[in-house]
């Protein structure tokens, strides 16, 4: 992730982006734009007051006697207060410029595209050319090699290689075909070979591309609940400090008269003090952090429907995971045929292969392949003419065929047991014991039976992904509970969960089970995240706090989720959590740094403003700043520059490593709390020395 963030930062800081962001930051100096950020609006008001007073002193120099260096001091404060505002605007503008650049690139793929609309699958000889924007949901389109896909659609005929790099950023082409998870195609992508017939499945203006453009456009980003809460806190702090500073001038006048010494504090000095002690740093960077978080999410090929979803990802307590493709490498493979007593391995392999003819799943193909390669079982489809095939489905959980008086079935133990009971028979104890033993080892047993007689078991094995156990240990250390949901029997699920290092599992899970589990955890006050790609996942996705729908999933799943993974990688949920936590950590770190900064500012401005009236306050001048004017100006300059220096941190994000909340908090306090105390002392003193060296004050 760090490498991607560095790449993001390098790509962002191009001359064109910087120049446009500088102009946008200048435009946003108008009060209407700044009213959206109350803290910075207070800074704007302070800059206006100092500007008015400075101009008044220039126009009427004799109305209130001042030395030349006093005029220069006022002008310097005025300039640096406006620079502070400009830097704060520049921070957000630079982050939004990144989003606009992405949006422009995406709009380039949504140019005027002509689609070949057809009336039916059988009538492709004379397609009607129409603009993509005129297509409606349900229209059939013909897509030939080199054609740009006009809109989001579902393949209903043909198999083709599709280049999706324009949308997903992945250079490798993908195969799209009817049915299953690979039937979804995205508008703006291009067919490389063969042809497809697809049905449009979205209304105009509601495509993937439209959603991506609206989400990456930073100007449309809404504030998240945490941002709103932090903004309220910053406003409260600003109001308290504003009321406090409002009493400083009359208090100084009174104290000066009573002590008959020194001069009362100047209004512009009080304004400078207010601008420095209000939380200008985090107020100027808050929106930048949010915009950059959404940009990093898009960099990971994930469309977040709202900033709220990204924040929720950072606060997830429970992670619901599918087994296949997330915890395991992929589909299960048949590794052995285990016959029952009195049955040969060759007999079992032949029956299993025959029962797999109608099983088009990868597991079914692996059974046929194992029977052929290891036992030379040749399946001649002509020998099964007239057979009634039973296709595998998630509901029946078995496949097979009926040919004359021969009936073969292969499937899960519960499904075969039910089939045997219909025939007045029962599953043999030997088969049940071997299946349970196999499941406890982490394998998946499939029972094979012919004419009511159980022949044996096919052993399927999952391969745990490398490093997945360590990843779950990291999540556990962060306080996140991992739960595997799988359709496997409970024995296999238990063994797989133990091998992968999961906290819990649910075997033979149904869509109703998923919804029930989510509701149970949410009732306990937990935030739940899950992934899904099918229509049966839609209810659970709609209920989950962080719901990641696969890009190649059904339209129902995409509409139910609040994030869409364009790579369709179930493991992406782990990366999404990292991005969400990094955004929250960045916000917390910079808030801590900003508040800590204010302590040093008290030690620089308070002695400068009141030491002439109360010489005892000189003891607070621990930095030994050269003069009161230099102390105030050095603090104001630091207050502006620190925003500029922290822009890369806000955009790139604070370095994040999976750890417990206590460790993260401790690191936050040590690095950004104490760092926020030390840095201003060093830099303010350095600026003061530079001003003294130049002879300015």
Give the residue numbers marked as catalytic.
322
User: Which H or E run contains 582?
Assistant: helix 572-610
Between CA 612 and CA 1 the distance in angstroms is 53
Between CA 305 and CA 292 the distance in angstroms is 15
Contacts of 25 (CB under 8 A, 6+ apart): 86, 87, 89, 90, 92, 93
Distances (CA, A) of 29 to 15, 37, 89: 22, 12, 8
User: Which H or E run contains 184?
Assistant: strand 184-185
User: Which H or E run contains 176?
Assistant: strand 174-176
Instruction: Answer yes or no: is 533 a known binding residue.
Output: yes
Number of C-beta neighbours around residue 58 at 10 A: 12
Between CA 56 and CA 492 the distance in angstroms is 82
Between CA 688 and CA 315 the distance in angstroms is 43
The arrangement of strands across the sheet holding 406-411 comes to 333-339, 453-461, 443-450, 406-411, 398-403, 388-390
Helices 307-314, 280-299: crossing angle, 10 deg rounding: 90
Note the residue count of the chain: 697
**If 0-12 CB within 10 Å is exposed, 13-18 middle and 19+ buried, where does residue 130 land?**
middle
Instruction: Answer yes or no: is 394 a known binding residue.
Output: yes
Instruction: Answer yes or no: is 395 a known binding residue.
Output: yes
Instruction: Answer yes or no: is 206 a known binding residue.
Output: no
Instruction: Answer yes or no: is 359 a known binding residue.
Output: yes
Between CA 613 and CA 619 the distance in angstroms is 13
Contacts of 277 (CB under 8 A, 6+ apart): 241, 598, 601, 602, 605
Instruction: Answer yes or no: is 392 a known binding residue.
Output: yes
Pure H helices in 187-343: 208-216, 225-246, 248-259, 267-277, 280-299, 307-314
Between CA 647 and CA 289 the distance in angstroms is 9
Instruction: Let me know: does 241 contact 274? Beta carbons within 8 Å.
Output: yes
Between CA 561 and CA 399 the distance in angstroms is 32
Between CA 673 and CA 335 the distance in angstroms is 57
Instruction: Answer yes or no: is 397 a known binding residue.
Output: yes
Between CA 132 and CA 146 the distance in angstroms is 16
Contacts of 90 (CB under 8 A, 6+ apart): 21, 22, 25, 644, 647
> What tokens does 670 get?
């040590």
Between CA 199 and CA 118 the distance in angstroms is 10
Instruction: Answer yes or no: is 537 a known binding residue.
Output: yes
Instruction: Answer yes or no: is 444 a known binding residue.
Output: no
DSSP 65-92: ---HHHHHHHHHHHHHHHHHHHHHHHHH
Instruction: Answer yes or no: is 410 a known binding residue.
Output: yes
Q: Which of 413, 384, 411, 387 is nearest to 399 (CA)?
A: 411
Going by DSSP bridges, is the β-strand pair 504-506/333-339 parallel, antiparallel, or unpaired? unpaired
> What tokens does 469 get?
């156990």
> What tokens does 126 get?
């004379």
User: Which H or E run contains 429?
Assistant: helix 429-440
Report the alpha-carbon angle 20-24-27, nearest 5. Answer: 145
> Helix (H, G, I), strand (E, B), or coil: what is residue 357?
coil
Instruction: Answer yes or no: is 244 a known binding residue.
Output: no
Q: Which of 604, 603, 600, 585 is nearest to 671 (CA)?
A: 585
Number of C-beta neighbours around residue 52 at 10 A: 12
Going by DSSP bridges, is the β-strand pair 333-339/140-143 parallel, antiparallel, or unpaired? unpaired
Which residues belong to the annotated binding site for Mg(2+)? 533, 537
Which residues belong to the annotated binding site? 359, 363, 392-399, 410, 533, 537
Which residues belong to the annotated binding site for ATP? 359, 363, 392-399, 410
């Amino acid at each position: 992730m760090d490498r991607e963030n560095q790449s993001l930062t390098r790509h962002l800081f191009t001359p064109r982006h910087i120049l446009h962001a500088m102009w946008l930051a200048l435009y946003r100096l108008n009060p209407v734009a700044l009213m959206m950020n109350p803290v910075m609006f207070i800074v704007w008001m302070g800059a206006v007051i100092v500007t008015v007073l400075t101009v008044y002193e220039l126009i009427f120099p004799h109305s209130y006697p001042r030395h030349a260096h006093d005029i220069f001091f006022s002008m310097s404060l005025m300039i640096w207060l406006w620079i502070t505002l400009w830097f704060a605007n520049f921070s957000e503008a630079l982050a939004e410029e990144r989003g606009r650049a992405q949006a422009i690139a995406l709009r380039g793929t949504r140019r005027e595209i002509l689609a070949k609309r057809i009336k039916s699958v059988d009538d492709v000889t004379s397609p009607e050319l129409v603009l993509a924007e005129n297509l409606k949901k349900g229209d059939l389109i013909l897509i030939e090699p080199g054609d740009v896909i006009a809109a989001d659609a579902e393949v209903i005929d043909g198999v083709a290689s599709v280049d999706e790099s324009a949308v997903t950023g992945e250079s490798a082409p993908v195969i799209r075909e009817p049915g299953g998870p690979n039937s979804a195609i995205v508008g703006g992508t291009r067919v490389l070979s063969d042809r497809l017939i697809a049905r449009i499945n979205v209304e105009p203006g509601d495509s993937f591309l439209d959603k991506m453009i609206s989400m990456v456009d930073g100007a449309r980003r809404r504030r998240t609940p945490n941002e709103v809460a932090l903004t309220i806190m910053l406003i409260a702090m600003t109001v308290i400090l504003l009321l406090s500073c409002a009493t400083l001038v009359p208090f100084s006048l009174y104290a000066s008269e009573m002590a008959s010494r020194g001069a009362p504090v100047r209004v512009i000095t009080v304004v400078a003090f207010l601008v420095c002690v209000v939380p200008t740093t985090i107020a100027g960077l808050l929106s930048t952090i949010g915009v950059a978080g959404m940009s990093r999410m898009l960099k990971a090929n994930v469309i977040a429907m709202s900033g709220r979803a990204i924040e929720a990802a950072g606060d997830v307590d429970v992670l619901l995971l599918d087994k296949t493709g997330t915890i395991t490498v992929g589909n299960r493979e048949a590794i052995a045929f285990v016959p029952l007593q009195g049955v040969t391995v060759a007999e079992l392999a032949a029956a299993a292969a025959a029962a797999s003819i109608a099983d088009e799943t990868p597991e079914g193909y692996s059974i046929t392949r194992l029977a052929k390669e290891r036992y030379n079982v040749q399946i001649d489809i002509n020998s099964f003419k007239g057979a009634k095939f039973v296709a595998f489905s998630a509901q029946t959980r078995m496949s097979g065929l009926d040919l004359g008086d021969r009936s073969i079935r292969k499937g899960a133990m519960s499904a075969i047991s039910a089939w045997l009971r219909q025939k007045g028979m029962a599953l043999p104890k030997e088969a049940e014991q071997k299946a349970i033993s196999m499941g406890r080892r982490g394998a998946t047993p499939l029972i094979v039976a012919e004419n009511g007689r159980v022949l044996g078991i096919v052993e399927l094995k999952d391969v745990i992904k490398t490093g997945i156990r360590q990843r779950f240990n990291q999540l556990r250390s962060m306080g996140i509970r991992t739960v595997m949901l799988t359709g496997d029997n409970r024995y296999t699920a238990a063994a797989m969960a133990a091998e992968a290092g999961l906290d819990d599992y649910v075997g033979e899970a149904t869509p109703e089970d998923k919804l029930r589990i989510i509701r149970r955890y949410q009732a306990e006050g937990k935030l739940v995240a899950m992934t899904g790609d099918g229509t049966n996942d839609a209810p659970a996705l709609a209920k989950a706090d962080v719901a990641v729908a696969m890009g190649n999933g059904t339209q129902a799943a995409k509409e139910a989720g609040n994030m869409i993974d364009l790579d369709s990688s179930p493991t992406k949920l782990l990366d999404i959590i990292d991005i969400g936590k990094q955004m929250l950590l960045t916000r917390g770190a910079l808030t801590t740094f900003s508040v800590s900064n204010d302590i040093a500012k008290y030690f620089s401005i308070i002695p400068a403003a009141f030491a002439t009236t109360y010489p005892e306050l000189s003891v607070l001048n621990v930095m030994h700043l050269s003069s009161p004017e230099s102390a105030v100006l050095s603090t104001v300059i630091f207050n502006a520059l620190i925003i500029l220096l922290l822009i890369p941190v806000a955009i790139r994000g604070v370095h994040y490593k999976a750890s417990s909340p206590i460790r993260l908090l401790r690191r936050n306090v040590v690095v950004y709390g104490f760092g926020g105390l030390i840095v201003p002392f060093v830099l303010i003193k350095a600026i003061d020395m530079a001003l003294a060296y130049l002879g300015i004050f």
